[in-house]
Copies of this chain bind each other. A is one copy, B any other.
Amino acid sequence: MKVVIAGFGTVGQGIAEVIGMRQELFSKSFGQQVKIVGAFDSSTIVKNARGLDPVELVRRKASTGTVGTRKVDGGVKELIEEYDFDTLIETTPTNILDAEPGYTHIMAALGSGKNVITSNKGPLALRFRELSKAAARNKVQLRYEASVGGAMPVINLSRELLRGEEIFSLRGILNGTCNFILNRMKDEGLPFEQALREAQEMGIAERDPSYDIDGVDSACKLAILANAIFGKDVTYNDVIRTGIRNITEDAIALAGEQNKVIRLIGEINKDRLEVSPRMVPNGHPLAIGGTLNIVQLLTDLAGEVTVVGRGAGRMETASAILSDLLAILSEDRAKGR
């Protein structure tokens, strides 16, 4: 299988490394190698039909700041179509205003009969239906486990392991930064501003934290899950959203007196698509601490099934992309390709 990596930040570098690390698995399980035949970032591109060395790609990015050996000139779309490859791995950053450049990359790849694996929330949270239809029309796969909750395998769990279940509703913690802040406020009695500053100093929260603490990131993920698992036709803008900016020490102390904690919960059910702070009893799965992500699915036969994992990180996100890559290889083998 030949792949192209679009975007070469943390996630792009992570998946390049993982593809390098797992060649033995690919050949043992599927009798083939996975070759990276191209990679590009916002300014440069590199390609080689016989395969690029992942270690070399990552080294060049680290030393020069760019992955490629020459400038991206003809526009990304033409480059994608010119390549001879099977699967595009799209890892450019999430853009919640217009989904670019991810949307253009993904549509171009699907349109020319290539599978797409993406970690990019923008296109999925804004134009999910359009992308799914393009994948179906071109008889290729569009997979996006990495777009929600890093290494927490909620999408493939729902689609594969729970395919016999009717899934009624979902609740979850989809942003590790908010969970860290709420937990520090509780454990140390810190005010919000101080817990946020601590998270920023530790590199858990961004300098501009609003994407996390105002629930934007959680709402993107919730919209993706609503489309992917519940067959809804919604975007990020349909999610009712309240962040954690106004959670006071008093509110957290009051919850504690009732043996409860406050968590930023995303919920999907028949009538509701909402991200907001809620009280959760200690001992309940959603009372989880740290920066973990968690999703709880309510189903007709199994009852509640819950999955927990690391919501972010270079190798964690690469791990989710790898699981999608293996699923594509497995489907291809089943179809005798």
Which residue among A25, A281, A309, A335 has the maximum number of chain B CB atoms within 10 Å of its CB? A309
Known A164-B322, A334-B334; judge A292-B302 contact (CB<8 A): no
Q: Looking at the complex, which one of B163, B283, B302, B307 makes contact with A316 (CB distance below 8 Å)?
A: B302
CA distance in complex: A303, B311 (Å): 10
A209 at the interface (CB under 8 A from B): no
User: What residue in chain B is nearest A315 (Cβ atoms)?
Assistant: B301
* Interface residues of A, dominant DSSP: mixed
Q: Give the residues from 161 to 199 in chain A that come closer than 8 angstroms, CB to CB, to chain B.
A: 161-165, 183
Q: Would you call B25 and A302 a contact (CB within 8 A)?
A: no
Segment at the B interface, from A78-86, A105-113, A151-159, A230-238: A151-159
A285 at the interface (CB under 8 A from B): yes
Q: Give the residues from 76 to 125 in chain A that come closer than 8 angstroms, CB to CB, to chain B.
A: none
Q: Would you call A151 and B305 a contact (CB within 8 A)?
A: yes
User: What residue in chain B is nearest A145 (Cβ atoms)?
Assistant: B161
Copies of this protein in the complex: 2
A318 at the interface (CB under 8 A from B): yes
Q: Looking at the complex, which one of B164, B261, B285, B308 makes contact with A326 (CB distance below 8 Å)?
A: B164
Q: Would you call A305 and B309 a contact (CB within 8 A)?
A: yes
| Chain A interface (Cβ < 8 Å from any Cβ of B) | 18, 22, 25, 29, 151-153, 156-157, 160-165, 183, 261, 281-285, 287-290, 292, 296, 299, 301-310, 313, 315-316, 318-320, 322-323, 325-326, 333-335
Which residue among A164, A284, A322 has the maximum number of chain B CB atoms within 10 Å of its CB? A164
Q: Would you call B287 and A162 a contact (CB within 8 A)?
A: no
Known A285-B292, A305-B308; judge A153-B164 contact (CB<8 A): no
Q: Would you call A326 and B282 a contact (CB within 8 A)?
A: no
A sample of 11 inter-chain contacts (CB < 8 A) reads A18-B301, A151-B301, A156-B161, A163-B323, A282-B289, A283-B288, A283-B290, A301-B316, A306-B306, A306-B307, A307-B307
Q: A305 — which chain B residues lie within 8 A by C-beta?
A: 151-153, 307-309
Which residue among A29, A261, A304, A323 has the maximum number of chain B CB atoms within 10 Å of its CB? A323
Q: Would you call B326 and A163 a contact (CB within 8 A)?
A: yes
Distance from A162 Cβ to chain B, minimum over Cβ atoms (Å): 7
4 closest A-B pairs by beta carbon, nearest first, are A283-B289, A334-B334, A151-B302, A301-B319
CA distance in complex: A160, B289 (Å): 27
Which residue among A18, A165, A287, A301 has the maximum number of chain B CB atoms within 10 Å of its CB? A301
Known A164-B25, A305-B152, A306-B309; judge A283-B323 contact (CB<8 A): no
CA distance in complex: A283, B287 (Å): 6
Q: A156 — which chain B residues lie within 8 A by C-beta?
A: 160-161
Q: Looking at the complex, which one of B157, B183, B287, B313 makes contact with A303 (CB distance below 8 Å)?
A: B313
User: What residue in chain B is nearest A296 (Cβ atoms)?
Assistant: B308
Q: A315 — which chain B residues lie within 8 A by C-beta?
A: 301-303
